[in-house]
Structure 1
Amino acid sequence: MPVETYFAELFDKIEDIDLGTFFADPEIQGRYFSAFVPPATYRAPDASTEDRAIAGPHGDIPIRIYRPLSGTPSGGGLVWAHDGGWGYGTIDDPGSDGFARELVARTGGVVVTLAYQLVSETVKFPVPLDEYEAVFTWTHDNAAELGIDPARLVLGGGGCAASMSLGAALKLKDAGKPLPAGLLLPFPLTHLVVPDPSDEHAAKVAVIPPMLNYDAAMVVFMYQGYFGDASASPSPYATPADGDLSGLPRTMIITSEYDALAPDGMHLAQLLGDAGVDVAFLEESGAAHAHLNYPWTDAAKRSVETITEWLDASDASV
């Protein structure tokens, strides 16, 4: 289908910005980020929130716990984090805070989000991944206090956090530790080299502005930030499509129709299915990459409803 109106207007606002101009001019950075401000008419659902800091392998990790405002939590749980190519994003972003509130409102479950350390000259793989795993383990170990049934605790995140969700699950499996009840992996980046798109998909990618077109150069840029050498992965946990995917829990993969990374999610779904994993796959129509970061859009609303149905389809429900 055509690009949803919100995303088409966003494309127009930033079509003249690329990585070179973005880093060269603070004013352009300001214009870029201002294009993503939520519309004045959007308000995320209310939820009870509690900020904490838990001990992690690289220092304390800030987390936020979302609970329904009224009534006892349903028993489901989700550990979730924002995307941003490992170098950007916060716990307050709509793709973290807004998504958590939307899901709690629909399910009555508990969502735990985290502010993992962003990569820098001194922070590289496996620091963010270790923190992601640590928050899942803490949530599992403290499930009773949080009002979560540990057998219904799902792990997920968008983009780079989808990669870390899958990498953390592989680490837990290899260590013989409790696994999540399910994996929620929207618009993931899990391959070192993203598989080639079909001709039909390549035509859709052609309309995407440079800063939202996660082509080979952009993928190299993100991996250089994450582990320093984009020519080789340091571990299957860093590029988890390379790992042994057998024995993982049921998984939902969501891709965005207008996204250069969509072939990553499509191929990952095939790899998981070949490994015997129960996979649900959705390509969200009319959506740009990371569409769950825009919970006011029609595409995000549809995806959240699909996620809710997937969660409710088994004991892994939130």
Structure 2
Amino acid sequence: MLTHSKRSVASFRRSSGRIIMSDVLFDWLQARAADWKATDPLKGGDAELIRWLLGPRPGEADYVAPETAVREEILKTGGGDLRVRVYRPKLAAGEKRPLLVWCHGGSFFSGDLDMPESDAVAREICVRADAVVVTVDYRLALGLHYPAPSDDVVAAFDWVVATAAALSADEQRITIGGASAGGNLAAGAALRLRDRGTAVPASVLLLYPILHPVLPEPSEELAGKIAGLSPMLRPSPDLVEIVVENYLGVPVSQAFPYGMPGVEADLRGFPPTMIINSEYDGVRASGEQFANQLRDAGVPMTEQVEVGVYHGHLGRGGGAPFLHSVTEMAGWVRGRADS
């Protein structure tokens, strides 16, 4: 396995006077991800705990996401065509609803609009919050880096604001959110929009987000929870850094706020935020630290932990943890819209 220092020496080159990441890093990421996926999830941890976490939950096998009206749009952007999917509740003529711009996860290089973390979540929020939901098919970090995925999320938000009336949405009641890497993209877009000084989200909704280039040290409580996880359920800090660098295009030591919002020194003016973390998840340290940073900046925020789950629990529709999370998310979208 390559050490971090060897990766750094081998994978950077100079272009137009600045250091950028060579696409060879994506090759390393693919290799490391393949090795990680090939590991036995029961080995290297508390087998009983892992079986419980991975085991089926009542309701999952029979789960079917709610029916709602769905259509797709192709947006013309500076980065090319951008696909978004629009979920709409039943509306009478002239009615306006809150709207959620939602970004799926997938370590910045995987995932799509059909995965449960995108489609099932969107359908649930649409029905439970009586809200319009727009999911974003942002460009993945498959040989490209920031700002491409972030640009797509900002472009989707701008389109939603510009077409709010046609979407039956109130442009003053728009939440932006996402899960895992999508949570990073949502938070980064919120920072960009804040600093741009035009339309900004009414609120931000983050599920088990990765917001720091290097995972913060876990609390004693969290360290105890993740100690029983196998490497399959607890990716190494080295692998997390490769994922982050593949997205940013620079070493983690050069991380910047729009790409990794946790390094932003001044979070004043960031929109009100809800963060829902997963109990058995090393990434929770990032969500928890960002929550503290928001509090220190005086940002209204709500923080919760979904119990009995590991990272990515929105990918398991139908079980009690999933249903509890989407209920809380819908309450945030609806509640912030009514505030």
Q: SS of 2:206's equivalent?
A: strand
Give the letter aligned to residue 257 of structure 1: E
Spell out, residue by residue over 1:18-56, the C-alpha distance to the aligned partner (whole angstroms, 9 max, x if none). Answer: x86862699x59x9xxx9999541110001100111012
Partners of 2:31 and 2:155 in 1: CA distance: 36
Partner of 1:179: 200
1:290 maps to 2:301: no
Give the letter aligned to residue 189 of structure 1: I
Partner of 1:23: 34
Give the 3 Å change call, closer, same or farther, for CA 25–110 of structure 1 in structure 2.
closer
Tell me if the contact between 1:47 and 1:67 (Cα under 8 Å) persists in the aligned partners. yes
Spell out, residue by residue over 1:107-151, the C-alpha distance to the aligned partner (whole angstroms, 9 max, x if none). Answer: 221000011111122x11110011111101111111000010011
Partners of 1:25 and 1:313 in 2: CA distance: 40
Alignment of 1:36-47 (within 5 A): 39-47=60-68
Give the letter aligned to residue 86 of structure 2: I
1:208 maps to 2:219: no
Spell out, residue by residue over 1:40-91, the C-alpha distance to the aligned partner (whole angstroms, 9 max, x if none). Answer: 4111000110011101221110110001256566511000010011011011
Give TM-score scaled by structure 2 length.
0.80
Counterpart of 1:253 (choices 269, 272, 275) is 275
Partner of 1:55: 76
> How many residues align structurally?
293
Give the 3 Å change call, closer, same or farther, for CA 23–36 of structure 1 in structure 2.
farther
Give TM-score scaled by structure 1 length.
0.85
Instruction: Please state how far the C-alpha of 1:200 moved relative to its aligned partner.
Output: 2.5
Partners of 2:33 and 2:194 in 1: CA distance: 40
> Which of these two proteins has the greater Rg computed from alpha carbons?
2
Specify every segment of 5 or more residues in structure 2 that has no aligned partner in the other structure, as ranges. 1-29, 42-53
Partners of 1:22 and 1:162 in 2: CA distance: 20
Give the 3 Å change call, closer, same or farther, for CA 203–46 of structure 1 in structure 2.
same
Partner of 2:9: none
Instruction: Please state how far the C-alpha of 1:207 moved relative to its aligned partner.
Output: 2.6
Give the 3 Å change call, closer, same or farther, for CA 193–53 of structure 1 in structure 2.
same
Question: Considering only aligned residues, what root-mean-square deviation do their CA atoms show, in Å?
Answer: 2.5
Spell out, residue by residue over 1:157-203, the C-alpha distance to the aligned partner (whole angstroms, 9 max, x if none). Answer: 00111111111111111111111000001111111121111232112
1:193 maps to 2:214: yes
Alignment of 1:1-318 (within 5 A): 23=34, 39-69=60-90, 71=92, 75-121=97-143, 123-243=144-264, 244-315=266-337
- What is the aligned-residue identity percentage? 34
